[in-house]
Amino acid sequence: MSNVKLAKTLERFETKIKDGHYYEAHQTLRTITNRYVRAKKYDDAIELLAKGAQLLIKAKQGGSATDLIFYLLEVYDLAKIQVDDLSSSRLVQLLSILDPQEPNLKDVITGVNNWSIKFGKYKFGDPYLHHIMSKKLLQGGYCYEAERYMVLATKDSIEDYVNFLWDWYLQAQEESKEEGDCNIADFYSRIILNYLFIFNIKFAYSAGEMFLTKFINNNKKKVTSWKIKKNEFELSFFPDYEELNFLELLLLTCQSGNKALFIGLKQSFPNIESKYSNELQYLGQEYFGIKTQKPVNFLQDMMSGLLGGGL
Amino acid sequence: MTANESDFIKFMTLATLEAPVYPNDYVKPLNQIENLGVALSPLPYKKYRYNVNSHKNGSSSD
């Protein structure tokens, strides 16, 4: 640390924390940070807040620590700090040691993501941060929020995503009263659909294959399947799991860009088509340019005609 | 060969007659993603319980 004054402040802060004077330490740090912010010494304020939050997390003072993280994000915003290795890693360090049971966890993560949207190049936030955030959210029990970030993360999250859905399938299977109560396709479909939605064919294949391999090799259940190869494509055929076959073919069809095939696929599996009607409608629009027909509003049309199309 | 299997093979054949528009390793860069698609419905099962072991070394319990 180059700034001696800052180092001394942190030293005093650390001593107060060691002595158990958490509230006093927190308030003092906030007061000193306010001074730095007013003087627009943002670098000093950031360093103080990041180190302070770190020490408070280690002292198991989650409430005070997250308060400092929120303040840190405020200073990032004021100072217009862009997403880069340094600014991100500071937050990653804090997130990685934060207790997953911390009540403010979800809000902290939303704050971090909002900052990365505002000052990064991704509309939905930074993929590297998503990887870390999804891990923490999963630990904290926020599985759907974690899933959203996993899908929009780096390739490092693929395995996490597969393990998460596979574990959930095993848990659901254990809890189901009868054989067949737990549908493997409910889990597999999330991988295929979520990645197809964002045109990530590569991850859909990687994650999909990892998941199906687990299913096939699962000792508790005998699964019959065999590989079918056409050109450079190889899919697993499941005689007893029609929905899995459908989802594999769906991925292949979206890749092909063949509109007639997509329509044919839906017609060949009418029951499954109705289960995934919204998802298929979206994919039809995005991959094949099939426009969805909006429901006709007769009253609006009539009024529009009377008023010369002004509505 | 079951009827389902022959349909499956027929479908695969048709889908792979020509080179795909999106190859197997296609990834649309995340900074070009404008829509996330349809929010999937919650699963009709009991809430997921975090499994420390399966996320420790990147391996899962089979």
How confident is the model at residue A282, as a pLDDT? 97
**A213 within domain boundaries:** yes
How confident is the model at residue B61, as a pLDDT? 43
Q: Which residues from chain A sit within 8 angstroms of residue B24, using beta carbons? A: 201-202, 205, 232-233, 255
**A108 within domain boundaries:** no
Q: Which of A24, A46, A81 is the last residue of a domain?
A: A81
Question: Which of A166, A255, A282 is nearest residue B60 as measured by Cβ atoms?
Answer: A166
**A246 and B CB contact within 8 Å:** no
How confident is the model at residue A310, as a pLDDT? 44
Interface test with B, best of A145, A201, A212, A267 (most B CBs within 10 A): A201
How confident is the model at residue B4, as a pLDDT? 87
Q: Give the tens place of pLDDT for each residue, A123-175.
A: 999 999 999 999 999 999 999 999 999 999 999 999 999 999 999 999 999 88
Q: Give the tens place of pLDDT for each residue, A239-285.
A: 999 999 999 999 999 999 999 999 999 999 999 999 999 999 999 99
- 3-class state of residue B59 by DSSP: coil
Q: Please give the full DSSP string across chain A, using - where no structure is assigned.
A: ---HHHHHHHHHHHHHHHTT-HHHHHHHHHHHHHHHHHTT-HHHHHHHHHHHHHHHHHTT-HHHHHHHHHHHHHHHHHTTPPPSHHHHHHHHHHHHHS-TT-TTHHHHHHHHHHHHHHHSS-TT--HHHHHHHHHHHHHTT-HHHHHHHHHTS-TTHHHHHHHHHHHHHHHHHHH-SSTTSS-HHHHHHHHHHHHHHTTBHHHHHHHHHHHHHHHHH-TTS----EEEEETTEEEEE-TT-HHHHHHHHHHHHHHHT-HHHHHHHHHH-HHHHHHTHHHHHHHHHHHH--PPPPPP-HHHHHHHHHTTS--
Q: Residue range A85-106: average pLDDT?
A: 97
How confident is the model at residue A2, as a pLDDT? 52
**A136 within domain boundaries:** no
- CATH number, domain at A290? 1.25.40.10
How confident is the model at residue A1, as a pLDDT? 46
Q: Which of A49, A81, A113 is the last residue of a domain?
A: A81
Helix (H) or strand (E) holding B7: helix B3-15
Question: Which of B27, B35, B60 is nearest residue A167 as measured by Cβ atoms?
Answer: B60
How confident is the model at residue A122, as a pLDDT? 96
Is the model's pLDDT at A292 over the cut of 60? yes
Percentage of chain A exceeding pLDDT 90:
81
**A206 within domain boundaries:** yes
Average per-residue pLDDT for chain A: 92
Q: Which residues from chain B sit within 8 angstroms of residue A164, using beta carbons? A: 48, 55
**A120 within domain boundaries:** no
- How far apart are the C-alpha atoms of A223 and A200, rounded to whole Å? 28
Q: Which residues from chain B sit within 8 angstroms of residue A208, using beta carbons? A: none
Question: Which of B18, B26, B31 is nearest residue A202 as measured by Cβ atoms?
Answer: B26
Q: Domains in chain A: how many in total?
A: 2
**A160 within domain boundaries:** no
Is the model's pLDDT at A188 over the cut of 80? yes
Least confident of A40-49, A178-187, A199-208, A240-249: A178-187
Is the model's pLDDT at A191 over the cut of 70? yes
Is the model's pLDDT at A231 over the cut of 90? no
How confident is the model at residue A223, as a pLDDT? 87
Q: Which of A28, A50, A81 is the last residue of a domain?
A: A81
Is the model's pLDDT at A50 over the cut of 90? yes
In angstroms, the separation between the Cα of residue A82 and the nearest Cα of chain B is 15
Low-confidence stretches of chain B (pLDDT < 50) are 58-62
**A159 within domain boundaries:** no
**Domain that residue A54 falls in:** 1-81
- Of A30, A101, A89, which Cα lies nearest the Cα of A62? A101
How confident is the model at residue B2, as a pLDDT? 62
Residue in chain B nearest A143 by alpha carbon: B48
**A52 within domain boundaries:** yes
